[in-house]
Every structure is written in C-alpha cells, then in structure tokens.
Amino acid sequence: MFCMLSTLLFACLAIFALAVPPSQERLSASVVRDPTRLSQSGTVSSVEVQYSTDWAGAILHSQTDTIREITGRLVIPTPRIPIRNDGKDAHYARIWVGVDGDVCESASIRVGCDLVVDSAGNITVNAFYHAFPGPIQHLNSSLSAPGASMTFAIALTSNTTGTVYVTEHTLDETVAQPFKTGAPLCQQDAEWVVENIVIDDKLLAMADFGTVTFTNASAVVEEKQVASRVGTDGARVINIWQDRLLTDVALGASSVAITYLS
C-alpha cells in the first residue's frame, strides 16, 4: 500500500556509490494503509483522487477480474536537486509498475528503476524488481540511463510466480527475470507509480524528476478464463502530499503522466 511499513525491512543490495548506502535498510513502501497519512480524497472529473506521502501515479483496481499482466513504457528522466533544496546530499526517486501492494496485504510484485542524484549532479540509475515479501533485487543496470526509452512489464503464470521484463528500446535488449513471491498475490491492483523512497520510517529526500509519462500503460485481466487487455480508464489517481503538494498526475486512456511540482 502507498505508505510506510514499520515492521518489514529488506536489505539494500545496491553496490553503486550513489545508491542507497548498503548499511541502510529499506522499508517496503507497500502493504499497510495508514489512513492518518492520507491527506484527503475526492473526485475530479470522475477520477478518484487520493493523496499519499510516498506514492504518485495510478492504481487500477479489479474486484472480480484477475490481473495477469501489466506494462508501461517511459523515457527515463534526468533527476535534479529540487529548487527548494532541503540541504540533503543526495535525492532519490523510484519508478515502477506493479501488481498488488495497495488493497492486497499479502504480497506484491514490482519492476522499475531507482534514480539518485548527488549534490554534484552525478546520477545513478539502477533497475530492480521486488517480489514482496522478500528483498529487492537489482537487475542489469547498464540498460537504464536518463533518456533511455524503457518498457517495464510483469507477466504472471500463477498467484506466486511469473516473470518481470525490462526492455531498452534503443538497444533492443530485454532482461527477463523469473520470480516467486513468498505469499500469494491477490492480483487485484495494477499500478504505475513514482515513489518517494522510505528507509527506517523516514522519507528520503525526493529528486525533481520532471515528468514521467507511462505510455502503452495497460493490464491484462481475466474473467471466467477469458483474458482481455485494458488501459487506465477507471484507475484511481494518487498524488504525493507532504508539507505541500509535490506531484500532479494526468490520466489518459492508456497513459499516466506524473509531474514533480517544483
């Protein structure tokens, strides 16, 4: 779920100098909804809007259908130190597509990348997947760089197994990684998200990521053994609100645009 989790920690596996320090432990920013951390909810142009301290994007919830796949294409942004710099040395943002982790409390699967920019402007991009419960796993990061056209996708073969895909379109290269979750997925939520990373119950300083636009944003849902591909119509919009509104999300029929408000 799009809030901090105070009881489940997983070890950071990044070995890059600009990544989250290995001595730190990351908190899963999923699974537990804390209503006190939602600023408000309402309806704008027939789109349900909610506010979170750490998630921005869209969530497509299905009560009757089973989500089998999710995909989203984007151009990796160039992260920057925000104009309203809080004095932190490094700033972070996490971009991903996922299944479950909002309504479903048992398990989730995500694939995407972490962005890090330090005070000197040095940038690191690390591709990852996270089969929760379980630790985050880093993928071949040579495919991920600012300006790269990427597709992140997940295909489920059961409620505990599947494959995550990271495709770099310029190089025409794909990394495919099978996974198994430690608990059954509910397969109820498809998510396209930019996240403010949380460690030890604390939000890391968030990078100005400009605008992240997921195109070809879709999910495959199955009802009574009949599968169909759907876009983002009917998805809920999530914006990040901390001491102020940090993001603005625009939803299309098959797109999710998430803009950092400087």
Which is the catalytic residue, given 25, 173, 195, 222?
195
The residues pairing with 92 across neighbouring beta strands, listed in sequence order, are 116, 206
* Full DSSP string of 190-204: EEEEEE--EETTEEP
Report the alpha-carbon distance of residue 78 to residue 218 in Å, rounded: 25
Which one, of 15, 181, 63, 64, lies nearest residue 111 by Cα?
A: 181
The residues pairing with 90 across neighbouring beta strands, listed in sequence order, are 118
222 annotated active-site = no
At 96 the three-state DSSP class reads strand
Q: Which two tokens stand for residue 87?
A: 């004095």
Reported as half-sphere exposure (CB side, CA atoms, 13 A), residue 225 has a value of 0
Count of residues making up the chain: 262
CA 234 to chain centre: 19
Please give the positions annotated as active site: 195
